[in-house]
Structure 1
Amino acid sequence: MHEAVDILEAAAQTADPKEMYAVTHKALTSAIKVISRADDSSGIIGDACHRLLDLHPKAAAAADVPASKLIAWMMTFQFDGEVDYFELDPVAYAPALKEKGMATYRTKLDEVRASLPAAAEDDWQAGHSHERFTLHWNAKRLAVLDHDIDAIIRTHARDRKVAAWFEDTARAFAEIGEMDLAIDWAKQATYFDLGHRSLKASDYWCELLDEHRPSEALEARLLVFRRWPSSTTAARLHKAAGKAWPGYRDEVLTILAGSPNDAVLFALLTLKDVQFAWNLAHSLGLVSDHTWSELVKAYEKLDPLAALPIHVRLVENQLVETGAQHYRLAARRLAKMRKLAAGTSKTAEVDEFIADLRETHRRRPRLQEEFTRAGLP
């Protein structure tokens, strides 16, 4: 499917417009039939459908498809289609529908709205939830098409009870070039609460500042780090600070010390100071096996023998669980330990550790098999 869409996208500028639209339309119809019957847990089919949905309005505009025909298809697709988890964007279809066609399309939406029992447009509990959702989606996109600031706030921010709705409003304003409003609403989303949606919005706020008000970006990144201290927000602050980083280092490391995992990851991945990360892991009492695994992979290049006790710990923790995958990973780590210890005073110690494991887990035949397969003694 994706190879076919690649061909369509490549042909968009050179193919006969009417043929281009016909093939795209048929491809979209077929793709929707496929996804209605197939397992798309990987999202691959859905991604192909989205690509076709992006291409369809452009092909329709180039082919000058009659507005009446296009509107009839749009209404059927949205309200009576085989699936109900794709939206059409009236902003994208505006060039194809033109002014008169858009007026007709709005009238068709009003007819659907009038056919529903009276209720707020986004009241999903009032019945006809799919129709109400689709009408609300169209209202949002038409507000953007109209560059109607009040309508954008009404349809996107709703009752202002969810941080994500503030971000939606910000993105709508950015889409129509109202950057001051976009920045303001993204900032409101950031300050809404300390939840994950506000954290997500905070990154969008900072991105807007990076592009449109760079003088304010560093202060915003610092604020975000203080609200949600983590290796990720610290890394973004580090990047924004640039040469000014030394002025923020002590505060960042002091705050991150409260979360050993974040402190070590920041030192390892952002500061790229392996020795410092190693020291932090020990002094802060790092417990995350995943982070220890990443750290020891880097540190064993500096001091192979010092890395061995951490490998021992990781192997022992791996073997707490039974199963071929756990045995296989443990065996690989043990093989790594033998390479690190080869030719040193630790060689015998590592082999003794392996022998002890074989004895301790002698009733796990699959473990013994994986150990042998990895070339362990």
Structure 2
Amino acid sequence: MGRVGVRLDVAVDALPGRAAAALARVDVPWQARWDELASLVAELSDLVRGGPGARVVARELAEVLVGAAQGGAQRAAVAGLADRVLDLHAVACASGPAVDGRELATWLLWLQTGFAEPPEVRLAAYAPALGEDGLAFYRAEAVARFERLPVIGFGRTGRYDRERWALLRVVEELAEHTGDVDLQVLVLSRDLSSGWHYLQVATVLRDAGRSAEAVAWVERGLAATGGRGAATRLVDLGVDECLRAGWADRAVALRRRAFLAHPTWESYTRLRSVASASGGWPSVREEVLGLVAEAEDGDDVLRRVVEGEWAEAPDGRAPEWLRRLRAELALRER
């Protein structure tokens, strides 16, 4: 595998050497050097269209430009040229004799993780040259390295160093190219610093039709967040999936958990709706209101429940349990 920084002694009639020489001439105005570099890329394009034999030249030119794009005022401009050269390299690899897919995969991973400012490799462009074996090797190597990254736990501030950013981009691109849900989950589950990240994982699994796993991630998110932050959205997603799958008891359990974590009128009515549909509302209501009554601010919560239920009672015909609870609260206020 070639390395950047050793091309200045290459004959100037070779594209990589001419590019390195142009980049090294700091005494020449940038516009003149840019014109030279752009013309070299145009020459490479002609070479690629002319048939096989351009792979090595394109690869070496890409390394020169990627290395030069690591700093300086013209970094973005040089990086743009590097992207164009990589596209040409992908075309060159896909034409002519077959390439070693594993060797190409190794080079692509090095290119994306070996620099502080790595290029954006379009995996779709390289897929034909990589072939099935090369792509599988690329995936295995990328995943193995990514899985070694520590998980950012809930409430923690993650350290996104150069390696983490580079591998994150590699695996994200791989997941997008393959449409692999497990890869998407792998990417998202490496940062669980907030409840919203749990929600992202659960959403991906829900959209993939994997309800059981989606609900499991909802439950993990609720345990981590303690009912804060994204908890409401997590519960909504989990309940919807449970009802879709016919798991009424799990849906009630999620609403029960949400109400006890934050006993508001809204969370109460949502619990009532789900539990009533399954036929278990009276027993669920008795249990949760009993637990609420034991809390320090339990009477305040119970008053809100009584007021809400009383307002909804038809023509003042409140059920016996509600009349009894209202009377008990009135006695405690005296």
Same fold (TM over 0.5): no
Greater helix share, 1 or 2? 1
Q: How high is the TM-score relative to the length of structure 2? A: 0.40
Question: Which protein shows a greater Rg?
Answer: 2
